[in-house]
Amino acid sequence: MVYKISRSFFLLLMLVYASFGYALEEEKEQTLQEEITEYIYHHVQDSHDFSLFSTKDKYTGEKKYYGFPLPVILIDDGVKFFMSSKLDHGKKVVESSGKYYKLYHGKIYETDSEGYISYDENGKVTNARPLDLSITKSVFSILLVSILMFYLFRSLARSYNDNNQIAKGVGRFFEPIVIYIRDEIAIPSIGEEKHKKYMSFLLTLFFFIWFLNLLGLSPLGVNATGNIAVTFGLALVTFLITNLTANKTYWKHIFWMPGVPVWLKPLLAPIELLGVFIKPFSLMIRLYANILAGHIVLYSLIGLIFIFKNLVGSSLSLVLVFFISIIEVLVALLQAYIFTLLSALYFGFAVQEDDH
Amino acid sequence: MEKLISEFSSGLFFWQTIIFVTLIFLLRKYAWKPILDTVNEREKSIRDSLNSAKEAKKEMENLQAENKKILQEARAESDAMINQAKQSGKELVEKAKSDARSEAENILAQARSSIENEKRAAMNEIKNQVADLSIDIASKVLEQELDKDKNHQEYIDKLLNEKKF
* B104 reaches A (C-beta below 8 A): no
Q: Is A343 inside a domain boundary?
A: yes
Domain that holds residue A68: 49-132
Q: What is the pLDDT of residues B155-165, one digit of tens each?
A: 777 777 776 65
Residues A126 and A229 in one domain: no
Is B165 exposed, middle or buried (CB count within 10 Å of its CB: 0-12, 13-18, 19+)?
Answer: exposed
Judge whether A34 lies within some domain: no
What whole-number distance in Å separates Cα of residue A74 and Cα of residue A99? Answer: 11
Question: Are residue A122 and residue A192 in the same domain, yes or no?
Answer: no
Domain boundary among A110, A132, A154: A132
A216 and A103 in one domain? no
Does the pLDDT at position A3 exceed 60?
A: no
Average pLDDT (A46-59) is 81
Question: Do A240 and A121 fall within a single domain?
Answer: no
d(CA A326, CA A182): 27
In a mutagenesis test of the B interface, which of A198, A228, A288 is the best target, namely the one with the most B β-carbons within 10 Å?
A228
Q: How far is CA B3 from CA A297, B7, B8, in A?
A: 20, 6, 8
Give pLDDT, residue A47.
85
Chain B residue numbers with beta carbons less than 8 Å from the beta carbon of A142 are 15-16, 19-20
Q: Give yes or no: residues A244 and A345 share one domain.
A: yes
On whether both A153 and A275 belong to a single domain, the answer is yes
- Measured in angstroms, the CA of B63 and the nearest CA of chain A are apart by 34
At residue B9, the pLDDT reads 85
Establish if A92 belongs to a structural domain.
yes
pTM of the predicted model as reported, rounded to 2 decimal places: 0.75
- Residue A268 in domain: yes
Tell me how many domains chain A contains.
2
Average pLDDT for chain A: 85
Name beta bridge partners: A83: A71
- Structural domain contains residue A71: yes
Q: Which H/E stretch holds residue B3?
A: helix B2-6
Is A223 in the same domain as A262?
yes
| Average pLDDT taken over every residue of chain B | 86
Q: Examine the domain organization and report whether A125 and A189 are in the same domain.
A: no
Residues A303 and A187 grouped into a single domain: yes
C-alpha to C-alpha distance for A326 and A3, rounded to whole angstroms: 10
Read off the DSSP letter of residue A90. Answer: G
Q: What residue type is A221 in one-letter code? A: G
Q: Report whether A215 contacts A328 (CB < 8 A).
A: no
Q: Please compute the mean of the pLDDT values over residues B78-102 and round it to a whole number.
A: 91
Q: Does the structure show a pLDDT above 50 at A82?
A: yes
For residue B13, the chain A residues in CB contact (below 8 A) are 229-230, 232-233
- Decide if A15 is inside a domain: no
Please tell me the predicted confidence (pLDDT) of residue A5. Answer: 47
Find the mean pLDDT for residues B107-123: 86
- As a whole number of angstroms, the distance between CA A186 and CA A193 comes to 10
For the residues A62-74, what does the mean pLDDT come to? 84
Q: Based on the domain organization, do A171 and A283 belong to the same domain?
A: yes
Most confident of A151-155, B152-156, B161-165: A151-155
Reported as a pLDDT band with limits 50, 70 and 90, residue A69 is confident
Instruction: Report the range of poorest mean pLDDT among A53-62, A120-129, A160-169, A226-235.
Output: A53-62
Rounded to whole angstroms, the Cα distance separating A238 from A349 reads: 13
Burial class (CB in 10 A: 0-12, 13-18, 19+), A311: exposed
List the single residue in B31, B38, B39 with the smallest CB-CB distance to A153. Answer: B31
Contact residues, chain A, for B10 at CB < 8 Å:
131-132, 229
- The answer, for B40 touching chain A at a CB cutoff of 8 Å, is no
Domain assignment present for A262 = yes
Q: What pLDDT was estimated at residue A22?
A: 42
Cβ proximity of A96 and A79 under 8 Å: no
CA B5 to chain centre: 103
| Separation in Å, CA of B47 to nearest CA in chain A | 15
What residue spans of A163-310 are helical by DSSP H? 171-180, 187-190, 196-217, 228-244, 248-255, 265-308
Among residues A84, A101, A132, the one where a domain terminates is A132
The answer to whether residue A269 scores a pLDDT higher than 60 is yes
At A2, the pLDDT band (50, 70, 90 cuts) reads very low
Is residue A124 domain-shared with residue A162, that is, in the same domain? Answer: no
Per-residue CA distances from A25 to A16, A29, A59, A100, A187 (Å): 15, 12, 11, 37, 59
- Note the Cα A32 to chain centre separation in Å: 27
The stretch B49-74 carries a mean pLDDT of: 95
A interface with B, Cβ–Cβ < 8 A, is: 45-46, 73, 131-136, 138-139, 142-143, 146, 149-150, 153-154, 156-158, 160, 165, 175, 178-179, 182, 196, 199-201, 203-204, 208, 224, 227-230, 232-234, 236-237
> Which of A108, A132, A156 marks a domain boundary?
A132
Question: Per-residue pLDDT averaged across A159-187, rounded?
Answer: 89
In this complex, is the C-beta atom of B165 within 8 Å of any C-beta atom belonging to chain A? no
Phi–psi pair at A54, nearest 5 degrees: -140, 155
**Cβ–Cβ < 8 Å for A226, A288:** yes
On whether residue A25 sits in a domain, the answer given is: no
Q: What gap in Å lies between CA B106 and CA B108, rounded to an integer? A: 5
Q: How far apart are CA A95 and CA A199, in angstroms?
A: 47
A58 and A201, same domain (yes or no): no
